Amino acid sequence: MSGQPDPVVEQLLGRLFSMASASSPLPCVCLRALRTHQIKKYEAECATFSFPLRGSFRFREKESWVTVKPGEMLVVPNARSLDIEYATEETSGEFVALSVILFEEQLEAARLLLAAPPVAEVGAIAAVSVSEVLEPLIRWNQAMREGKRPFAVHALVEVILRLYMLGHRGLLRPRDPSLAMKIRQMISDKPARRWTASEVEQHFGLSGPTLRRRLAAESTSLRAIIADARIAVALRLLMGSDLPVKTVAARVGYSSVASFSRQFSDRYGIEPSGFR
């Protein structure tokens, strides 16, 4: 009968849920929540696949909201900012999702295999049925469970290729990071460090006026980049660990939990304690 769940898809989702529930560390991010909440201007820093397993995602990049349900995957083709909402499942009362970050080695392998002209389009965020890429996802999951990283990487490359053939070509757009993105990455690597303008200027070989002028052209400032980078790292720590809010605040360079909570709330529209 039409409308009936595919048992193979259901089996894969069950295995992904087991991965999300595993105590051993994985090269994935498990998101859990016990109530619906929304995060404003979430910064996706690279191509990402996310699988809602309990409850659903809603995302908005421009105006309209799009829902992603179990049996679908959220495809973010490259770095961008979006509003995202996690909605809990009615029966269990929880939200669980698994996110996979695509590394440049996988994207470059797909580019080499295609031997196609460079992709110029940024591409849209999309909800894609898991059934469209079911076979390579099953192989990826199996390789992950067996600890066979090369085979897991190979399977994800096939997922990327299939999505490309389905029209999601922004995945293979070569990264051309802006100065703000480069600084943001540098801050994210050491968020607790007391960064100064002179350190950033020296690192990029720019004078103070030139740095300020170039960042102004990108509609930002060094102060804003540092704050955003720290809060973004804090968000990932809250999503992917059980660290106390005080510890998270310290790890991203805040000596005051109150100041951290205020900055986090201004950025994402929710207190870190409420998010957790």
pLDDT (average), residues 117-124: 86
* CATH code linked to domain 179-275: 1.10.10.60
Grade residue 27 by pLDDT with cuts at 50, 70 and 90. low
pLDDT (average), residues 193-213: 94
Model-level pTM?
0.71
pLDDT of 25: 56
Does the pLDDT at position 66 exceed 50?
yes
> At a CB cut-off of 8 Å and minimum separation 6, what does 210 contact?
none
pLDDT (average), residues 218-236: 89
Q: Are 136 and 158 in contact (CB under 8 A)?
A: yes
Does the pLDDT at position 148 exceed 50?
yes
pLDDT (average), residues 66-73: 96
Residue type at 176 in one-letter notation = D
- Pairing outcome for strands 37-44 and 80-87: antiparallel
pLDDT of 176: 67
Structure tokens at 252: 């991203």
**pLDDT digit string (tens) for 150-190?**
888 899 999 999 999 999 999 998 876 789 888 988 999 99
Nearest to 55 by CA among 66, 43, 41, 71: 71
* CATH code linked to domain 7-172: 2.60.120.10
Structure tokens at 200: 């950033």
pLDDT of 206: 93
So where are the chain's domains? 7-172, 179-275
Q: What is the mean pLDDT of the chain?
A: 88
Using left for φ > 0, alpha for ψ between -120 and 50, and beta otherwise, residue 259 falls in alpha
> At a CB cut-off of 8 Å and minimum separation 6, what does 28 contact?
19, 20, 98, 99, 100
